[in-house]
Structure 1
Amino acid sequence: MLTTLWVRLGAFLGKVFLIVVALGLIGWLLATTWFAWHYRGPVSAQEQIPLGESAMTQGIIQTAISVVDQHRESTRYLRDAHAKAHGCVKAEVQVVSDLAPALRQGVFAEPGKVWQASMRLSNGNAYPQMDSAKDARGMAIKLMDVPGPQLLTDQQGRGEQDFVMFNHPNFFVSDVAEYAQNIAAQANGQSKQAFFPGWDPRTWQIRHMFIALGTLAPAPNSPTESTYYSVSPYKFGAANAKFRVAPDPQSCPQYSLPPQNQGLPNFLRNALNQQLSADRVPACFVLQIQRQDPSKFMPIEDTSIEWKESDAPFETVAKVRIPAQDFDTPALNLACDNQSFNPWFAIEAHRPIGGINRLRKAVYEAVSEYRHSRNAEQ
C-alpha cells in the first residue's frame, strides 16, 4: 500500500513538473512574440521630448545631490556615480589613416590625426567599495585642444571632446521618467522598489532588472581588459550613432598581466599600475561607432534597447593607446578626483541626443558644481 502511494505521488509530481515546464515555455513564447512585435522598426531619427521631462529633471538633480551628501568620504564630496577611480592616465587617440569618407566627422575628420587625451577608469557605484564587488566599470576619455565652439555656451574655453562609457551595451532604464523612479528608490535604500514600484504587475520592470543584474558583473582582471559602451546615442555628423572602446592587444607589445591579489580593496588600480608603471607596457584599444539605421529597431529615446550588431556593425574610427607612465601619486590622484567628464563637453558634430543625455546635461553640471564648491570649502 505504501509503495502504491509513493508511485501515485511520484506520478502526480511528475505531471505537476511537466505542467510547470509547459506553462514556462508558453510564457516564454508569448513574451518573445510580444517583444518582437512591440520592439520593432522603423524608428525616428529625431529626438522626441516628452511632456514633463524638465520638471522630472529638476527632481532628479535634488536626489542626485542627496546621494552625494550621503556618500561623502570623510569631509570630501564624491561623484554621485563612478565615485571610485582606478586612475586617470594620459592617452593618445589616433584617427584611422584610411578612414572611409562617410566616417570623417567631427574629431575624426582628419585621417591620421593624433589627439592627446586624458582617460579616467572607475567603478560604477556611488560610493567606494571593494573592487571584487560586482559592479559596473567605467571609462571616460577627454580629447584636448579640440577647435571649434563648445556645446555649452559657458564652457567655450575648454576645447574638449568627452566620451563617457561603461561596460554594458544598454542601460537599465529607458528614459527620464524611469530614471527618476529608479534613483529615488535607490537613494531611499529601497532597491526592490527600483524595479517593482507597486503591486500592479504592469509597473514591474523585470527586463530592466535583468539588465541591471547583467551590469553588475564580476571584476575583470584589469580595467584594460573590458569593453566600454556609450549606451546613449550621439550625433555623428548628419547621422546618429553609439560608440564603444574595445581592447586591441595586437596593436601593443604582447603582455600577460601577473596574477593579482583580488582580495585587496584596490586590486584594479594595482593591476593598472603593474602594467603601465612597473612593467612599462602600454595598453591599446579601438574606438568604434555604430550608426543608426532608422529602418531597424534602433531607438534614440530608449537606452534600455541594445542596438544589434546584426542591424548595424561597429566601425573602427580611431586607435587608443595608453603609454607606459606613472599615474598613481597623491598629486595626480587629487587632480583625477577634481577632473570633470561630461558628454556635453563636446562639439556640435558629436552632440548628445536622447532623454538620458538631456538629463545628463542638467545633472552633471549641477552635481559637479555642488561637489566642487563643497570640496573647495574644506
Structure 2
Amino acid sequence: MLKRFWLWLGRLIGKLVFFFAVVGMLGWGAGEAYYAWKFSGPVSSEEQIPPNEAALTRAIIEDTVRVVEQHRDNTRVLRDAHAKAHGCVKGEVQVLDDLAAELRQGVFSEPGKTWQAWVRLSNGNAYPQFDSARDARGMAVKLLDVPGEKLMPGAAHAGEQDFVMFNHPVFFVSDVAEYRSNFAAQADGKKVLAFFPSWDPRTWEIRHLIIALKTLAPAPETPVATTYNSIAPYKLGPLNVKYRVVPAPQNCPPYQLPEQNTELPNFLRNALYQQLSLDRAPACFELQVQTQNPQYYMPIEDTSVQWSEKISPFQTVARITLPPQDFDSREQNLFCDNLSFNPWHALPEHRPIGGINRLRKAVYEAVSAYRHERNAAPQAQAPASSGL
C-alpha cells in the first residue's frame, strides 16, 4: 500500500516538473520572440522629449531631496547616490596618437594630448555600507583645464569635462516616467512597488527587476578591476555614442594585488591604497566609445537596452592612467566629498542626450547645490599636496 502511494506520488511530481518545465520553456520562448519584435530597428537618431518630462523632473528632484535627508550622516548631507567613495585620485587621460578622424571631436580632437584629471571611484548606494554588500560601483572622471564654452555656464566648472559611469551596461529604468514611478516607491520605503506598481501584470517590470538585481553585483577584488559604462548616450561631434572604461593592465607594468581581507568594511579603499600608495604601482584603463547605428535597435531614449557590440563594437579613444600617489588624507577625502560630477559639465561636442541625461542635468545640479548649501561647503579646491 505504502509502496503504491510513493510510486503514485513520484509519478505526480514527475508530471508536475515536466509540466512546469514545458510552461517555462514556452514562456521563455514567447518572451524572446516578444523582445526580438519589440527591440527591432530602425530607431531615431534624434532626441524625442515627452511633453510631461519637466513636471516629472520636478517631482523627482523633490523625492531625491527626501532620500538625501533620509541618509544624512550625522550633520553632513551625502550624495543621493554613490555616497561612499573609495578615493578621489589623480589621473592622466591620453588621447590615442592614431585615433580615427571621425572620432577626433571635443577633448579627443588632438591625438596624443594628455589631460590631467580627477577620478572618483565609489559604491552606488545612497548610504555608506560595507563594501561586501551587493551594490553598483561607479567611476567619475573630471578632465581639468579644458578650454572652450561649456554646456553649463558658470566659473565654478568652466574648465571641466566630466564623464560619469557605473559598472553595468544598462539601467533598470527606460525613461524619466518610469524613473519617477520607481524612485518615488523607493523614497517611500516601498521597494516592492518600484517594479510591481499595481496588481495589473501589464504594469510589472520583471525585465527591469532582473537588470536591477544584476546591477547589485558582488564587489570586485579592487575598484580598478571592473568595467564602467555610461549607460546613457552622448554626442561625439555629429555622432551618437556610449562610453565605457575597461581595465587595461597590459598598458601598465605587471602587478599582482595581494589578497585582501574582504570582511573589512572598506576593503576596496584598502585595495586602491595598497596598489597606488604602498606598492606604488599604477593602474591603467582604456576609454572607449560605441557609435549608434540607427538602422538597428540602438535607442537614445531607452537606457534599459544594450547597444549590440556585434553591430557596433567599442573603439578605444584614450588611455587612462592612475599613477602611484598618496590620496587617503583627511584633506583630500573632504575635497573628494565636495567635488561635483555632472555629465553636463561638458563641451557641446560631448552633449549628453536622452531622457535620463536630461533628468541628470536638473537633478545633479539641484542636489549638488542643496548638499553644498546644507554642508556650508566651499567650492572644492584641490589639496595643496595633490599637485593639481
Structure 1 residue runs without a partner (length 5+)? none
Distance 1:253 1:185 in 2: 47
Residue 234 of structure 1 and its aligned partner are, at CA, apart by: 0.1
* 1:46 counterpart residue number: 46
Distance 1:299 1:178 in 2: 16
CA displacement, residues 291-344 of structure 1 (integer Å, 9 cap, x when unaligned): 000011100000000111112100000000000000000000000000000000
Contact 1:150 1:156 in 2 (8 A): no
How far is the alpha carbon of 1:12 from its aligned partner?
2.2
Alpha-carbon distance between aligned partners in 2 of 1:41 and 1:320, rounded to the nearest angstrom? 34
- Could you tell me which amino acid in structure 2 is paired with residue 288 of structure 1? Q
Name the structure 1 match of 2:17.
Answer: 17
Contact 1:340 1:368 in 2 (8 A): yes
- The alignment status of 1:373 with 2:384, answered yes or no, reads no
Counterpart of 2:52 in structure 1: which amino acid? Answer: G
Partner of 1:75: 75
**2:152 partner letter:** L
Task: Name the SS for the 2:284 alignment partner.
Answer: strand
Confirm or deny: 8 A CA contact 2:124 2:136 kept in the other structure: yes
- Distance apart, 1:3 and its partner CA: 2.3
The offset of 1:38, in angstroms, is 0.7
The amino acid across from 2:334 in the alignment is: L
1:223 aligns with 2:223: yes
In structure 2, what residue type is equivalent to 1:229? N
Q: Report the CA distance between 1:157 and its aligned residue.
A: 5.6
Distance (whole Å) between structure 2 residues aligned to residue 266 and residue 158 of structure 1: 34
Alignment CA distance shift 1:157-1:285 (3 Å): closer
Distance in 1, Cα, partners of 2:336 & 2:377: 19
Q: 1:59 to 1:360 in 2, by over 3 A?
A: same
In the TM superposition, what is the alpha-carbon distance from 1:19 to its structure 2 partner? 1.1
Partner of 1:88: 88
Instruction: Give the aligned partner of residue 349 of structure 1.
Output: 349
Q: How does 1:266-345 map to 2 (within 5 A)?
A: 266-345=266-345
CA distance in 1, matches of 2:241, 2:36: 23
Q: What's the offset of the Cα at 1:154? A: 3.3
What is the root-mean-square deviation of aligned Cα atoms in Å?
1.2
Give distance in 1, aligned partners of 2:377 and 2:230.
34
Alignment of 1:1-378 (within 5 A): 1-155=1-155, 158-376=158-376
Amino acid at match of 2:291: R
Letter in 2 for 1:220: P
Amino acid in the other structure paired with 2:273: N
In the alignment of these two chains, the number of paired residues is: 378
Q: Quick one: distance in 2 between partners of 1:177 and 1:212? A: 17
> What's the TM-score, normalizing by structure 2?
0.96
Question: Unpaired segments of 5 or more residues in structure 2?
Answer: 379-388
Distance 1:315 1:54, change over 3 A: same
Which deviates the most, 11-20 or 212-221?
A: 11-20
CA positional deviation for 1:158 = 1.8
| Secondary structure of residue in 2 paired with 1:153 | coil
Q: Helix, strand or coil: the match of 1:225?
A: coil
Length-normalised TM-score, structure 1: 0.98
Q: What percent of counterpart residues are identical?
A: 63
Q: Secondary structure at the match of 2:199?
A: coil
Find the aligned partners of 2:64 and 2:258 in 1 and give their Cα distance: 39
Deviation of 1:377 after TM superposition, in Å, equals 7.7
Secondary structure of the structure 1 residue equivalent to 2:27: helix
CA distance in 2, matches of 1:258, 1:13: 50
Q: SS where residue 154 of structure 2 aligns?
A: helix
Secondary structure of 1:55's counterpart equals helix
Give the residue type in structure 1 aligned to 2:286: V
2:41–2:298: 8 Å Cα contact kept in structure 1? yes
7-16 vs 124-133, greater mean Cα deviation: 7-16
